[in-house]
Amino acid sequence: MADKIKDAKIIFVVGGPGSGKGTQCEKVVEKYGYTHLSSGDLLRAEVASGSERGNQLQAIMQKGELVPLDTVLDMIKDAMIAKADVSKGYLIDGYPREVKQGEEFEKKIGAPALLLYIDAKSETMVQRLLKRGQTSGRADDNEETIKKRLDLYYKATEPVIAFYESRDIVRKIDSELPVDEVFKQVSQAIDKLK
């Protein structure tokens, strides 16, 4: 595995729910041709398949909780391998959500070259998620679950940023600005990688 993706850059995209991770990743795909893997999207695909495992995942996600680490990591790893021959870089969106996930990823796959920290105020995230909820059809875009997701973000995911800061790979992105302004910052961080 490590061999197959040895030249591909790995970028972790970390930020609260509704901070704009998915929005920025789409633009990175367009400009840089990186492979975008969203843990949430992978999980929702499993739910949509109607499998027994998908039903269990749905119940967890609806409560705003984290699904088991092994499940997410296996899904990401399989998806990375599937793209290994064509991918020059990977955007890992929504993972790691806790320090342990980062540690396990590095043991099984490899080290990230960059961590994009997509930062927005909690009020901003709530407003964006409530708006997204009007059309997303996502079971977790409702007021009650949003609150739980935010709490979990501050408790479990923010420590991930501190964990990688010591390696100097964290780039903090101000995601309060309009999408294109946010993307300028993202582009600058990626351009510096080369």
Ligand X SMILES: Nc1ncnc2c1ncn2[C@@H]1O[C@H](COP(=O)(O)OP(=O)(O)O)[C@@H](O)[C@H]1O
Ligand Y SMILES: Nc1ncnc2c1ncn2[C@H]1C[C@H](O)[C@@H](COP(=O)(O)OP(=O)(O)O)O1
- Does 22 sit near Mg ion (CB under 5 A)? yes
Q: Which of 64, 77, 43, 188 is nearest to 129 (CA)?
A: 64
Q: Is 49 labelled as part of a ligand binding site?
A: no
CB of 191 to ligand X, least distance (A): 20
In the complex with ligand X, the residue whose CB is nearer, 9 or 21, is 21
Give the per-residue contact string, 152-181, with Mg ion (x = CB under 5 A; - = no).
------------------------------
Question: Per-residue DSSP letters for 91-149?
Answer: EEET--SSHHHHHHHHHHT---SEEEEEE--HHHHHHHHHHHHHHH--TT-SHHHHHHH
In the complex with ligand X, the residue whose CB is nearer, 5 or 173, is 173
d(CA 9, CA 87): 9
d(CA 17, CA 21): 8
Scanning 64-72, 74-82, 141-149, 174-182 for contacts with ligand X by CB under 6 A, the matching segment is: 174-182
53 CB contacts (<8 Å, ≥6 apart)? 46, 71
Question: Which residue(s) pair with 9 in the sheet?
Answer: 89
Partner in contact with 128, chosen from ligand X, Mg ion, ligand Y, none, beta carbon below 5 to 8 Å by kind: ligand X
In the complex with ligand Y, the residue whose CB is nearer, 149 or 171, is 149
Q: Is 21 labelled as part of a ligand binding site?
A: yes
Scanning 59-67, 76-84, 97-105, 176-184 for contacts with ligand X by CB under 6 A, the matching segment is: 176-184
- Does 133 sit near ligand Y (CB under 6 A)? no
Structure tokens at 4: 């197959």
- Does 178 sit near ligand X (CB under 6 A)? yes
Cis before 96? omega within 30: yes
β-pairing, 89-93 vs 35-38, is parallel
Residues in contact with ligand Y by the rule CB under 6 A: 17-18, 21-22, 38-40, 43, 61, 64, 66-67, 72, 94-95, 97, 101, 140, 149
Residues in contact with Mg ion by the rule CB under 5 A: 21-22
Residues in contact with ligand X by the rule CB under 6 A: 15, 17-23, 128, 131-132, 175, 178-179, 182
